[in-house]
């Protein structure tokens, strides 16, 4: 039985009422951004979307992404109205309640698949979900609600261009154009034509409409569903704080709850409490034909042999192909450097599971997160330096607690050579280590790199792989294990004077230093700290204890990388921290390693210093 | 005497020749992206731009930003042709040469004002420069050359929307649409109409043309200069590798030099070496009327008194007004949170020096950098979490070595409370510390915050101020000094059992812990490590030496923040590192400080552990 306009309008008023009540009870929050979106949200959940209130993950159902995450109260309200959750809305923002100030998947699994609240990220995740559903043959649609303030974020236009490029007809965005930002009018105010023009220029079907007109919304959603060759955006003119005289289209009410007592009571009286007879029937748009499944066999072993000359980054492409051959959950995303990261090898073999994201790293990470939410194992790569572009997305991805999100940064440190500092990741270890729950791996050769890509696919959450540019000798055999949290003691004796802790390119410098020191009769232990986070504290502490001190050496800035990690975790009595402290210049890799004092000669000097 | 089309075309061929020669000599680099842009660059420097080859900083001259930084060889070539530099182009990419693989201001001061090479950043800096010139009454124009691949970056559209919003008629962008990216066709290939449509929708005057037609370029630049109400973009259809059969419009030639010998020789023969009679006459577009000047008097003292209740973030607005009153170089940039950061106080007082950047943090930082390049002291603020959005811009800003760039992140850590983790900066200390050359300050009260804003304006390079959300007691008087690299020993005795090192909100927890421990007869030293980078190592080391160990406590992730900084710099024998290790939830600030074990009770426990 079709649900009539009056019911949707009554539902919208209920959502307004709930949003006011819950934020006033919490004493904080954003009721007015809920009030502008009330008819949109009511129309989506009450009439447009195919949902099963008992199972948010049911194949063939639609998914809603609240990109304007500060409107969380209306999400909790609608989920309660449709019977998806049963929490007391008045516990909003309380430590003992899942009803967060901004949505997190941890709290309401399935209904919330990605954390929002840093604006301009939801559409990228939606693009990823829409791509994933196409790949999985799942007819369920993705709806993404944004604010008009947030479309100032460039990442929205990155997602828009990919949504159009990939012709995502299963994606529908809605911009809630209430014209008011946090601290003033938005750039375009209520000029929905100007906003529509942007989306059309970016290749979308754009529909301008009154976002409080439930009949117009129904018509536009219908239009979106019938548009088969591209995504649709509804650009909805609304009023912030709609329905209450005190707040309607008034500035100064962005992140502010109404005061309990007369202020709230008057508002509630204006909203009213009309009777609402809403019946949500579970429905789908059909079944998925190819849901991603875990593999039934292990990948083949890497073909590298000890002594081969292999750049760690090459192992990225090699391992993706190996793993992707047995695991159809693997999808690979590229930011238009696939020939440098070797991701193109995967593209050549599995073009259907490869997504070209062009030079737009934020959207690449957000899209990857969307794939993760749909059961795939996304593997996204670009130069390590350019993941800095997506750092806010990575931060938010951590709060999305994805089952898997594998990021591979290549071309790291001064050892890339002549291209200069713009292309050198020198901050990525610090930045990625700081992400709560993230794993950070930094293998030194092709074999360990290849095996650690396998490990990454078995590791929950965000895994960052740091894979160097230069070719190095393969030093490990195919039977070696590289568990996350482990390390490799690659040189040891009973009379080691010092331990050198290295990773990536500096491990090879450490091995050279070991040889030079051996000629002088000085024995040093050499440890490959390929697991930078978590660190193999036990092995490192034992080495610090058994030898006279530690030299850490890393092709990374001196702050927040391997050296500090070791210093804090191990507390060696004596420690020389070798790392990059000045701005690098274009030069040959070996010149740069020498200039920045992270080469074998510098390691020898540091060992001599600690032993003299 | 006007320079004729034939001369510009000959100059373009010279630039192609130089780009081929220098990259082949270097054995790496990007000749083909230079070859597509040859007529554009020749037209700009040879005819369009008002420059003084002897003085790149001469008021009233134009400035060129090479946003597609990998085309550096053509920049070095044109600068040599016009007599601005006199280096041997064949030293490209060598350690002993200023001719970097991607442009850095350090190498060619004045001619290069911002580092490029991470794509999509030059237009933001150009927007900042154009705004700065308008503010300074300088009629010189800004020209920004982008690649077509790079306009996939969302940051380009952030800059575009602000360029149009602020009606920057003194800004002219050029998109070199060669249709080829690094690893394949660009999104739009040679469809310049589709690209023009995007720019027009974003409010620009867009001119599509043949980028190898020097007469058409001259006409379009003329058109741009006559467009008085908005910026202009030339969308120029070009061929990558133009002029050489082997490379022209061919894939696989992105970052690749031609081999010396027959390959290069054939290419050079195709290019030819026509005679070139180029005379560049120094000229300006007029004089600047209001160049920014250093102040002649000191700002007034902060008005806070010990015991006042002030949020550190409030001091941001307060200090900006105080300093801005005497220093007209201060400009303030906001990402639409000015009421939360208190930057609106500056806007209210000095609207002409305030730039609303809306919710687009990348462009805010890039625009700030552009102001810095023009002699202003840009002060940009948003929530600390959202500077993660601009991390690549901050990284590149470090390589731009700006005289000043002050970034203030508010709403840091779990102490923001109910809004939840999306709004909590928990990685900013790690990320900002990792930036080479950056200063990181984290004051605990209104007075130190206010004074440290003053210090920031006297500190070269990037300064990140981390200013907490909650109100705290002012604990310092107006006569206290807060030098960068210093710290404050706020509690000490001769029998201190342990030293507690805190900053920001945790300093107040440390003081509470001090009081509770005193009741138990346990004396602890308390140090305010307001200068997180550089750290006051001497004071901390003395404290570690004189007391039984260190407790560090920070409202930040446990990786790369204050605790690790202290561990690496001081190497205390005993150290308890208190920091956030799990994903926070919405709750009251005090609940979150307690839950994440960074409150007074946790500090007491850590002290007890170290002393038992």
**DSSP for A200-258?**
HHTT-EEEEEETT-HHHHHHHHHHHHH--SS-EEEEEE--TTTT-TTTTT-TT-TT-PP
Q: Write out the two tokens for B22.
A: 């220098």
Residue (of A530, A554, A540) closest to A440 by Cα position: A530
Q: Do A434 and B561 touch (CB under 8 A)?
A: yes
**Residue corresponding to tokens 């260190």:** B550
Reported as half-sphere exposure (CB side, CA atoms, 13 A), residue A5 has a value of 8
CB A329 within 8 A of CB A376: yes
CB A65 within 8 A of CB A156: no
Quick one: average pLDDT of B187-206?
A: 98
Cβ of B489 under 8 Å from any chain A Cβ?
Answer: no
DSSP label of A48:
I
Burial of B311 (0-12, 13-18, 19+ CB in 10 A): buried
CB A533 within 8 A of CB A594: no
Inform me whether the pLDDT recorded for A2 exceeds 80. no
Inform me whether the pLDDT recorded for A444 exceeds 90. yes
Q: How far apart are the first and last CA of chain A?
A: 87
Q: What percent helix, strand, coil does chain A show, rounded to 5?
A: 40, 15, 40
Residues of A in contact with B187 (CB under 8 A): 161, 165, 358
Q: Write out the two tokens for B583.
A: 């994903």
Cβ of A382 under 8 Å from any chain B Cβ?
Answer: no
Dist CA A412 CA B174 (whole Å): 31
Quick one: average pLDDT of B129-155?
A: 98
Cβ of B537 under 8 Å from any chain A Cβ?
Answer: no
**Average pLDDT score over chain B:** 97
Residues of A in contact with B399 (CB under 8 A): 421-422, 583
DSSP label of B51:
-
Three-state secondary structure of B83-110 = CCCCCCHHHCCCCCCCCCCCCCCCCCEC
- Percent of chain B scoring above 90 in pLDDT: 97
Q: Do B100 and A420 touch (CB under 8 A)?
A: yes
Cβ of A396 under 8 Å from any chain B Cβ?
Answer: yes
Dist CA B304 CA A162 (whole Å): 51
DSSP states along A180-192: B-SSSB-SSTT-H
Q: What is the tens place of the pLDDT at every residue in B423-457?
A: 999 999 999 999 999 999 999 999 999 999 999 99
CB B29 within 8 A of CB B75: no
Look at chain B and count its residues.
612
Quick one: average pLDDT of A422-436?
A: 98
CB A45 within 8 A of CB A279: no
Q: Which residue of B has its CA nearest to A439?
A: B559
Q: How confident is the model at residue B1 (pLDDT cuts 50, 70, 90)?
A: low
* φ, ψ dihedrals at B99, nearest 5°: -85, 80
Cβ of B181 under 8 Å from any chain A Cβ?
Answer: yes
Residues of A in contact with B434 (CB under 8 A): 426-427, 429-431, 557, 559-561
Pick from A150, A399, A419: CB nearest B422: A399
Three-state secondary structure of A391-446 = HHHHHHHHHCCCCEEEEEEECECHHHCCCCHHHCECCHHHHHHHCCCCEEECCCCH
Inform me whether the pLDDT recorded for B195 exceeds 80. yes
Q: What is the tens place of the pLDDT at every residue in B364-386?
A: 999 999 999 999 999 999 999 99
CB A405 within 8 A of CB A368: yes
More confident residue, B24 or B279: B24
Q: Which residue of A has its CA nearest to B559?
A: A434
Q: What is the tens place of the pLDDT at every residue in A66-103?
A: 999 999 999 999 999 999 999 999 999 999 999 999 99
Q: What is the largest CA-CA distance in chain B?
A: 89
Q: What is the tens place of the pLDDT at every residue in A10-48?
A: 999 999 999 999 999 999 999 999 999 999 999 999 999
User: Which residue, among A186, A354, A384, A418, would best test binding to B if mutated, counting the most B CBs under 10 Å from its CB?
Assistant: A418
- For residue B164, the distance in angstroms to the closest alpha carbon of chain A comes to 10
Quick one: average pLDDT of A467-477?
A: 97
Residues of B in contact with A363 (CB under 8 A): 154
Residues of A in contact with B254 (CB under 8 A): 339
Beta pairing, strands B309-310 & B472-473:
antiparallel
Dist CA B466 CA B530 (whole Å): 9
pLDDT the model gives residue B111: 98
pLDDT the model gives residue A274: 85
Q: What is the tens place of the pLDDT at every residue in A332-362?
A: 999 999 999 999 999 999 999 999 999 999 9
DSSP label of A551:
E
Helix axes B361-373, B122-136, angle to 10 degrees: 50
Pick from A115, A181, A564: CB nearest B568: A564
Query: A175 — alpha (psi -120 to 50), left (phi > 0) or beta?
Result: beta
User: In sequence order, which residues have a C-beta less than 8 Å from that of residue A512 and are 6 or more positions away?
Assistant: A600
What residues 7-36 of chain B have any CB closer than 8 A to a CB of chain A? 26, 28-29
pLDDT the model gives residue A400: 98
CB A79 within 8 A of CB A15: no
Cβ of A351 under 8 Å from any chain B Cβ?
Answer: no
Pick from B418, B435, B567: CB nearest A571: B567
DSSP label of A376:
-
Cβ of B278 under 8 Å from any chain A Cβ?
Answer: no
Pick from B118, B154, B356: CB nearest A360: B154
Least confident of A1-10, A37-46, A357-366, B149-158: A1-10
CB B444 within 8 A of CB B504: yes
Catalytic residue among A48, A150, A158, A361: A361
User: Which residue, among B359, B382, B569, B584, would best test binding to A if mutated, counting the most A CBs under 10 Å from its CB?
Assistant: B359
Pick from A420, A559, A580: CB nearest B117: A420
Residues of A in contact with B431 (CB under 8 A): 391, 427, 430-431, 434, 560
Residues of B in contact with A334 (CB under 8 A): 183
Q: Do A420 and B102 touch (CB under 8 A)?
A: yes
Q: Do B392 and A386 touch (CB under 8 A)?
A: yes
* φ, ψ dihedrals at A161, nearest 5°: -65, -35
Cβ of A350 under 8 Å from any chain B Cβ?
Answer: no
Dist CA B5 CA B390 (whole Å): 42
Quick one: average pLDDT of B358-366?
A: 98
Cβ of B540 under 8 Å from any chain A Cβ?
Answer: no
Q: What is the tens place of the pLDDT at every residue in B515-556?
A: 999 999 999 999 999 999 999 999 999 999 999 899 999 999
Inform me whether the pLDDT recorded for B277 exceeds 90. no
Inform me whether the pLDDT recorded for B120 exceeds 80. yes
- Strand-pairing partners, residue A360, are none
Dist CA A566 CA A97 (whole Å): 38
User: Which residue, among A568, A573, A576, A577, would best test binding to B if mutated, counting the most B CBs under 10 Å from its CB?
Assistant: A568
Residue (of B461, B503, B513) closest to B482 by Cα position: B503
Cβ of B101 under 8 Å from any chain A Cβ?
Answer: yes
Residues of B in contact with A427 (CB under 8 A): 391, 395, 431, 434-435
Q: Write out the two tokens for A212.
A: 């409080």
Provide the edge-to-edge strand list for the sheet that holds A575-580: A488-491, A524-528, A498-502, A550-557, A575-580
Burial of A116 (0-12, 13-18, 19+ CB in 10 A): buried
Q: Do B565 and A561 touch (CB under 8 A)?
A: no
User: In sequence order, which residues have a C-beta less than 8 Å from that of residue A237 and are 6 or more positions away?
Assistant: A177, A190, A192, A208, A209, A210, A211
- For residue A563, the distance in angstroms to the closest alpha carbon of chain B comes to 8
Cβ of A292 under 8 Å from any chain B Cβ?
Answer: no
Cβ of A539 under 8 Å from any chain B Cβ?
Answer: no
Residues of B in contact with A398 (CB under 8 A): 583
Q: How confident is the model at residue A1 (pLDDT cuts 50, 70, 90)?
A: low
CB A90 within 8 A of CB A170: no
Q: What percent helix, strand, coil does chain B show, rounded to 5?
A: 40, 15, 40
Cα dihedral across residues B191, B197, B203, B209: positive or negative? positive
pLDDT the model gives residue B8: 97
Inform me whether the pLDDT recorded for B85 exceeds 80. yes
Q: Which residue of A has its CA nearest to B401?
A: A583
pLDDT the model gives residue B291: 82
Q: What is the tens place of the pLDDT at every residue in A104-156?
A: 998 899 999 999 999 999 999 999 999 999 999 999 999 999 999 999 999 99
Three-state secondary structure of B317-332 = HHHHHHHHHHCCCEEE
Is the bond leading into B174 cis (omega within 30 degrees of zero)? no
Pick from B201, B435, B587: CB nearest A197: B201
Reported as half-sphere exposure (CB side, CA atoms, 13 A), residue A255 has a value of 16
pLDDT the model gives residue B589: 97
pLDDT the model gives residue A107: 84
As a dihedral over the C-alpha atoms of residue B413, residue B414, residue B420, residue B423, rounded to 10 degrees, the angle is -10
Q: What count of CB pairs under 8 Å joins A to B? A: 345
Catalytic residue among B39, B318, B361, B374: B361
How many C-beta atoms surround the C-beta of residue B102 within 10 A? 28
Number of helices (H), then strands (E), belonging to chain B: the values are 21, 19
pLDDT the model gives residue A612: 86
Quick one: average pLDDT of A236-250?
A: 98
Inform me whether the pLDDT recorded for B255 exceeds 90. yes
Q: Do A334 and B183 touch (CB under 8 A)?
A: yes
- For residue A296, the distance in angstroms to the closest alpha carbon of chain B comes to 33
Inform me whether the pLDDT recorded for B359 exceeds 70. yes
pLDDT the model gives residue A303: 93
Q: Do B392 and A392 touch (CB under 8 A)?
A: no
Query: A506 — alpha (psi -120 to 50), left (phi > 0) or beta?
Result: alpha
* φ, ψ dihedrals at A477, nearest 5°: -85, 170
Dist CA B120 CA B127 (whole Å): 12
Dist CA A510 CA A503 (whole Å): 9
pLDDT the model gives residue B425: 98
Cα dihedral across residues B547, B553, B554, B560: positive or negative? positive
Dist CA A494 CA A501 (whole Å): 17
Dist CA A203 CA A163 (whole Å): 8
Cβ of B57 under 8 Å from any chain A Cβ?
Answer: no
Q: Do B118 and A563 touch (CB under 8 A)?
A: no
- Tell me whether residue A318 is one of the annotated catalytic residues: no
């Amino acid at each position: 039985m079709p649900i009539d306009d009056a019911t949707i309008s009554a539902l919208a008023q209920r959502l307004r009422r709930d949003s006011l009540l819950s934020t006033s009870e919490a004493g904080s929050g954003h009721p007015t951004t809920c009030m502008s979106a009330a008819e949109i949200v009511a129309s989506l959940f009450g009439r447009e979307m195919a949902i099963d209130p008992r199972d948010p993950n049911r194949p063939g159902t639609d998914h809603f992404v609240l990109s304007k995450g500060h409107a969380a109260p209306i999400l909790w309200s609608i989920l309660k109205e449709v019977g998806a959750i049963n929490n007391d809305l008045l516990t909003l923002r309380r430590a003992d309640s899942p009803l967060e100030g901004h949505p997190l998947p941890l709290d309401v699994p399935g209904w919330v698949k990605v954390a929002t609240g840093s604006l301009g990220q939801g559409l990228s995740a939606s693009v990823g979900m829409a791509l994933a559903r196409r790949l999985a043959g799942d007819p369920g649609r993705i709806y993404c609600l944004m604010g008009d303030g947030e479309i100032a974020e460039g990442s929205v236009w990155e997602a828009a261009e990919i949504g159009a490029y990939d012709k995502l007809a299963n994606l529908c965005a809605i911009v809630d154009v209430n014209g008011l930002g946090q601290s003033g009018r938005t750039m375009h105010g209520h000029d929905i034509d100007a906003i529509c023009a942007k989306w059309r220029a970016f290749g979308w079907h754009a529909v301008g409409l009154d976002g409080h007109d439930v009949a117009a919304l129904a018509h536009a959603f219908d239009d979106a569903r019938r548009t088969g060759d591209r995504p649709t955006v509804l650009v909805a003119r609304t009023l912030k704080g709609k329905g209450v005289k005190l707040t309607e289209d008034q500035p100064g009410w962005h992140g502010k709850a109404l005061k309990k007592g007369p202020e709230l009571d008057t508002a509630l009286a204006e909203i009213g409490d009309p009777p609402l007879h809403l019946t949500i029937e579970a429905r789908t748009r059909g079944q998925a034909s190819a849901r991603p499944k875990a593999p039934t066999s292990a990948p083949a072993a890497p073909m590298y042999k000890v002594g081969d000359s292999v750049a760690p980054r090459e192992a990225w492409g090699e391992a993706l192909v190996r793993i992707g051959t047995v695991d159809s959950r693997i999808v690979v995303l590229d930011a238009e450097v696939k020939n440098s990261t070797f991701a193109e090898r995967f593209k050549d073999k599995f073009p259907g599971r490869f997504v070209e994201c062009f030079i737009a790293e934020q959207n690449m990470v957000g899209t990857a997160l969307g794939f993760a939410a749909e059961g795939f194992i996304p593997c996204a790569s670009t130069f390590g330096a350019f993941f800095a572009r997506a750092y806010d997305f990575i931060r938010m991805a951590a709060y999305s607690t994805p089952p898997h999100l594998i990021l591979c940064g290549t071309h790291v440190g001064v050892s890339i050579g002549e291209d200069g500092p713009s292309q050198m990741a020198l901050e990525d270890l610090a930045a990625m280590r700081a992400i709560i729950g993230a794993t950070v791996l930094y293998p030194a050769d092709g074999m360990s790199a290849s095996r650690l890509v396998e490990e990454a696919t078995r590791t929950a959450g965000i895994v960052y792989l740091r894979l160097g540019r230069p070719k190095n000798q393969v030093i490990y055999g195919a039977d070696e294990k590289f568990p996350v949290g482990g390390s490799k003691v690659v040189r040891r004796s009973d009379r080691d004077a010092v331990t050198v802790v290295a990773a990536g390119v500096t491990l090879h410098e450490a091995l050279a230093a070991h040889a030079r020191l051996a000629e002088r009769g000085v024995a040093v232990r050499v440890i490959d700290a390929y697991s930078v986070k978590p660190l193999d504290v036990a092995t490192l502490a034992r080495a610090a204890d058994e030898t006279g001190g530690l030299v850490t050496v890393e092709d990374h800035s001196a702050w927040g990388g391997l050296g500090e990690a070791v210093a804090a975790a191990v507390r060696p009595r004596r420690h020389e921290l070798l790392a990059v402290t000045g701005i690098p210049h274009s030069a040959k890799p070996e010149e740069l390693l020498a200039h920045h004092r992270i080469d074998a000669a510098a390691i020898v000097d540091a060992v001599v210093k600690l032993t003299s």
